[in-house]
Structures are given as structure tokens and as C-alpha cells.
Structure 1
Amino acid sequence: MERERIAPYIGAVGCLVLAVVLSAPYFAITTQTQLLGDYYSAGPLGVIGAIFLATLGVVIFLSSVRGRADPELVAGIMLVVGVAIFGITALWAVSIDSVVLFSFPSNASWIEYHRWVSLAVSGVVAAAAGIYAAAVY
């Protein structure tokens, strides 16, 4: 019963943190707008879809906690969405061209690690969705 109660909160917080982490370069780097566009659209899908799904994930996770939706339905939806978020983020993280990655100004050198932090946080979202689905079913 404890996992069923805690997992949606962890998932919602993970989704919120992921949306903030993935959006950080957009707000922190004010120059090099074309380079930011190339960074976010790297790979076949880019990462914008993961930001959208993470934002949506907050609402979906909390809908079962608030009693607005069936917990089994929410667990199933978030399992699919969590795996999709992780897949999109992983595909994006390994597809970023090193030329794009190392073309940012020196004061934005943290961007070299940004993709791996994003991937780790998306893994937390997928794990929370899996734990919630296992607890509910």
C-alpha cells in the first residue's frame, strides 16, 4: 500500500523536475539561438516531445492521487508515457552531435552534462511509473 501512495508523487515530482531540467538551456543561454535549436532538435525526434509529455505527466500522476481517475488506468497510461519519455530522451541524448555540443560559449560548459542529467531524471519518471503500475495491479 505504501508504494501505491508514494509512487505517483515521486512520478509527478520527477516529471516536473524533468520539464525544468530540459528547459534550462532555453532560459539560461541567451545567445546562440540557432545552436539551441540544433541542440533541442538533435536526433530523429528531438526532445520537445519529452518536455510536453513530462508536463502532461504531472497532471496524469496527480489525477489518481486526487481521486479524479481510476488508479489502474493512470498506472497503465503513465507506464506507457514514462517509457516513451525515457525512450525519447535516450534517443536524443545519444544523437547530439559533438560539434553542436561543444560550440556553446565557455560559460555554458555545463551543457556537456545536461543530456545525461536529463536522461537520469527521465529514468526516475519511468521507474516511478513502473513501480506504481506494479503496486496497483
Structure 2
Amino acid sequence: MDAERLAPTIGLIGSILLAVAVAVPAVAVEASNGQMAAYYASGPVGLSIVGMLALLEVIVFLSGRQNRTDPATAAGLGVVLSLSMLGLAVLWSVSIDPTVLFSFEQQYAWLSYHRWTVIGAAAVALVGGVGYARSIL
């Protein structure tokens, strides 16, 4: 598989993983009194914007990979979106209030590791975006 197909595939997989990672707590956690809303709204911009950018990047990688848009434009957008997602994910993860993070019941203790999963998925998307831009340009 050549780099022009492999790199956007990696970015695509990273973006899908990131969108799923952002959505999992909203689906899997039964929280009361707005705990989940406070979790997603933590930090300066919150986590929801990262999930929205991940879904947008899926479209960018698919359109570039299928030659439905200019590959250089798709590669540039992929890098910018990936870098933005990683930056926002890191900003969210370091600025989340510990009282919000640890306020969930014991069965949801995995939420304390969720932020690192989000950062990891965003990093995979960035690797794919940078690789795609490097192969195109």
C-alpha cells in the first residue's frame, strides 16, 4: 500500500476512534445532576468540539483519499484539524476539574483514564494527517 493511501487511512481510523472515544461516556455512563454535562463542558472549550472536529476530519480524509477534492487541500486541512483536535484535547484533559473527574460512581472509575484515550486517538489522527501531507506535498 502506498503512502498516499496509507496515511489518510491512518488519519481516518484515528479520527473515527477519536469520535467514538468522545461519545462513549455520554452513552455508557448513567450520571445524575448534570455530572456528564459538567464533564463534557470542563476546560475552556469543552470536549464536544473535539468530537465535532473528528467527524469533520473523517469527511476531509475520505474526500482526499477518494480524490473528490484537491489532495493538497485535503492534506492541509487534515493537518490543521488534527493539530487543533490534539491541542484542544490536551487543553481539556489538563484543565478538567478533579472534583468533576472523580465525582462519578466507582463503576465509572475508567473515566479517569478516558482523557488519555482521547489524547491518544487525536495523536493517531495527527500522525495520519502529517503523513498524508508529507506524501502529497
TM-score band, normalised by the shorter chain?
over 0.9
Unaligned runs of 5+ in 1: none
TM-score normalized by structure 1? 0.96
Matched residues in 2 for 1:2 and 1:33: separation? 51
Aligned to 1:115: 115
Aligned to 1:97: 97
Give the letter for the 2:57 counterpart. Answer: G
SS of corresponding position for 1:46: coil
Matched residues in 1 for 2:58 and 2:40: separation? 22
TM-score normalized by structure 2? 0.96
Q: Give per-residue Cα distances to partners, 1:33-69, cap 9 Å, x unaligned.
A: 5111111111111111110010111111010111201
Aligned to 2:23: 23
- Identity over the aligned pairs, expressed in percent? 37
Unaligned runs of 5+ in 2: none
SS of corresponding position for 1:127: helix
Q: Number of aligned pairs?
A: 137
Runs of 4 or more above 4 Å deviation: none
Is contact 2:4-2:135 (8 Å) kept?
yes
The alignment yields a C-alpha RMSD, in angstroms, of 1.1
